[in-house]
């Protein structure tokens, strides 16, 4: 009987539950009437899918109140069958958590959990099941099994705030859904004065590696973080902090920042459109970044009368050499198209990128080239790695910047800027600027007061 009920569709189980509940009530009535009920309407004689109207007999208040022995037996059977139905509820799934291991695939995970390839196939038919291909070692899958070992639900955290659920319906088909947790945004603050290096100052201020890199990228069009940084430079950063159910889950975007370099102050405010602007509405982003490698030493500056280190002859050095370890990523200085990507005895592995009609950048002595001729590249995209190919004395990147075919010093050339904010958006932006800068100033004063009290 129990196995029969297991195989029934859910709606049939509900009907049977109602009928059995009615029978249980009848069992508590006087034995003669209870016996008549059993003889006329039993659970085994029910026709699946058909609704039944049960007429309850009138109760004689003078009749004995104790049920017969048969009624007690039937009561126990009904209770057991109702428990079977209760065990089939999705809320009663048996849950287990699986941590993804190196080399795992969904097929291997299902096999380890004792689930069949057929079950995996049905899961993959769900709309968002392809997201399960994102799994990485250390991730967790939560598996909910029914009492008979069938997969009832699977969940996977796509991020700190979003969870994917794949759930079986009454017919064994799987459907996907996503759940977003409510994120509370608070604001964190960090500031520091540079004594040895920008990187060390960022770490001492409590910034993450990603935040330090983002800050450098934000001001990278105005400040050369290789050549321009000096002891005494300082920065202040206002950034998002994300909380879920009162628990800190990570840092978010920089919303405002100030960088003071050699006495010059640069401020950046994040607009609702996702871009960063100076307080006057001009775009922080320019068409080119100053340096195509991050935080590396300049071994040879732009010099039209430099003595070549290999030949000993006076030969113009029409670019900048950035000393870096072999394999250090090299980024495209701006959006453009690769017009040359090859190898020569003098230049080693090299890449030339054309940016519109007037500008070209060149990258020489690469260890490897990641883009080919004709490819479109975006500013900041990795195009290769630092190497020591060609006529060189050690690993470095030789970087050139040409305007209308003439070599210019990449550190000092005036770079074209991106579009500024439309005038119609300036009133609202001005209010945002005042609010953000006031927040930075307030945090500075609080930290100054705390340091003075130490």
Q: Which two tokens stand for residue 141?
A: 């899958």
Question: According to the model, what pLDDT value does residue 12 have?
Answer: 62
3-state secondary structure of 157: strand
Cβ atoms of residues 302 and 317 within 8 Å: yes
CATH number of 297-408: 2.70.70.10
**How many whole angstroms separate alpha carbon 404 and alpha carbon 426?**
35
CATH number of 91-180: 3.10.450.350
pTM of the model: 0.54
**How many whole angstroms separate alpha carbon 172 and alpha carbon 399?**
61
- Per residue of the chain (454 residues), what is the pLDDT tens digit? 555 555 556 666 666 777 676 676 666 655 444 333 344 444 444 454 445 444 444 444 444 444 444 544 444 544 444 344 334 444 578 898 999 999 889 999 999 888 999 989 999 999 888 888 888 999 999 999 988 888 999 999 988 888 999 999 888 889 999 988 888 999 999 999 999 889 999 999 999 999 998 999 899 888 878 778 899 999 999 999 999 888 898 888 999 999 999 999 999 999 998 899 999 999 988 888 888 887 655 554 444 555 555 555 545 668 889 988 899 999 999 999 999 999 999 999 999 999 988 999 999 999 999 999 999 999 989 999 999 999 888 999 999 999 999 999 888 888 887 789 999 999 999 999 999 999 999 999 988 888 776 6
Residue length of the chain: 454
**How many whole angstroms separate alpha carbon 66 and alpha carbon 415?**
97
Where does CATH 2.70.70.10 sit in the chain?
297-408
Bridge partners, residue 407, by sequence: 402
Cβ atoms of residues 285 and 279 within 8 Å: no
What residues contact 222, with CB distance under 8 A and at least 6 apart? 261, 266, 284
Bridge partners, residue 386, by sequence: 366
**How many whole angstroms separate alpha carbon 257 and alpha carbon 235?**
7
Where does CATH 3.10.450.350 sit in the chain?
91-180, 184-277
Cβ atoms of residues 361 and 405 within 8 Å: no
Domain 184-277 CATH assignment equals 3.90.1150.10: no
Taking the mean position of all CA atoms in its chain, how far away is CA 55? 60
Question: According to the model, what pLDDT value does residue 172 have?
Answer: 83
Cβ atoms of residues 204 and 196 within 8 Å: no
* Residue owning tokens 């060149």: 362
Closest CA to 216 of 321, 324, 292: 292
């Amino acid at each position: 009987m129990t196995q029969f009920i297991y195989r029934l569709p859910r709606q049939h189980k509900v009907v049977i539950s109602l009928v059995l509940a009615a029978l249980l009530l009848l069992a508590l009535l006087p034995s003669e009437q209870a016996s008549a009920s059993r003889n006329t309407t039993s659970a085994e004689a029910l026709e699946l899918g058909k609704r039944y109207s049960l007429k309850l007999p009138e109760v004689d208040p003078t009749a004995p109140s104790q049920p017969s022995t048969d009624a007690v037996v039937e009561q126990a059977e009904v209770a057991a069958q109702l428990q079977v139905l209760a065990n089939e509820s999705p809320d009663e799934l048996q849950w287990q958590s699986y941590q993804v291991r190196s080399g795992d695939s969904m097929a291997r995970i299902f096999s380890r959990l004792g689930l069949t390839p057929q079950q995996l196939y049905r899961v993959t038919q769900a709309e968002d099941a392809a997201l399960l291909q994102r799994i990485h070692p250390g991730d967790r899958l939560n598996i909910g099994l029914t009492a008979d070992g069938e997969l009832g639900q699977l969940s996977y955290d796509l991020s700190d705030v979003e969870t994917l659920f794949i759930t079986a319906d009454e017919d064994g088909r799987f459907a996907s859904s996503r759940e977003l947790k409510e994120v509370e945004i608070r604001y964190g603050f960090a500031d520091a004065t540079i004594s040895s290096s920008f990187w060390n100052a960022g770490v001492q201020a409590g910034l993450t590696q990603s935040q330090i890199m983002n800050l450098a990228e934000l001001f990278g069009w105005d400040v050369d973080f290789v050549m321009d940084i000096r002891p005494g430079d300082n920065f202040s950063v206002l950034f998002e902090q994300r909380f879920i159910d009162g628990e800190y889950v990570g840092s978010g975007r920089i919303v405002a920042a100030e960088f003071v370099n050699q006495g010059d102050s640069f401020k950046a405010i994040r607009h609702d459109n996702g871009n960063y602007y100076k307080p006057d509405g001009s775009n922080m982003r320019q068409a080119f970044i100053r340096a195509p490698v991050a935080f590396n030493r300049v071994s040879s500056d732009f010099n039209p009368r430099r003595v070549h280190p290999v030949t000993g002859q006076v030969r113009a050095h029409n670019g900048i050499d950035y000393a870096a370890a072999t394999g250090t990523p090299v980024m495209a200085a701006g959006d453009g198209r690769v017009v040359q990507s090859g190898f020569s005895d003098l230049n080693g592995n090299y890449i030339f990128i054309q940016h519109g009609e007037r500008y070209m950048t060149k990258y020489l002595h690469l260890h490897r080239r990641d883009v080919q001729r004709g490819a479109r590249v975006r500013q900041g995209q990795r195009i290769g790695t630092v190497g020591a190919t060609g006529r060189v004395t050690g690993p470095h990147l030789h970087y050139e910047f040409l305007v209308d075919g003439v070599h210019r010093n990449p550190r000092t050339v005036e770079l074209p800027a991106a579009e500024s904010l439309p005038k119609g958006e300036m009133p609202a932006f001005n209010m945002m600027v005042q609010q953000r800068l006031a927040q930075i100033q307030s945090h500075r004063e609080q930290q100054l007061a705390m340091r003075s009290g130490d």
